[in-house]
Amino acid sequence: MNTHLPADLEQFVQSKVRSGRFTSPEEAIAAGVRLLRQQEEAEDARTLEGIRQSLEDVRVGRTQPLAEAIAEIRRDLNLPQGS
């Protein structure tokens, strides 16, 4: 795989290699991609946990009528209340 980075990112990678933090640009880029993968996996896990919690809330009756929920969202977003 060949990668072309914007000049500012290329300079950043090169500075990390020069500092000894990484032995090559490829190692630095691989570390960045691993970090991106970790962040996305963590975001996916948070999303799934939110879905699980929501389903549990519904199961035990922690819900509110749709009209109340919409009114609350409108208040939170400072939107005009619908009729």
DSSP letters for 7-44: HHHHHHHHHHHHTTS-SSHHHHHHHHHHHHHHHHHHHH
* pLDDT per residue as tens, the chain (83 positions): 888 999 999 999 999 999 999 999 999 999 999 999 999 999 999 999 999 999 999 999 999 999 999 999 999 999 998 76
Structure tokens at 49: 């946990």
Rounded to two decimals, what is the model's pTM?
0.70
Map out the domains of the chain as residue ranges: 20-76
Q: Encoding tokens for residue 37?
A: 């993968």
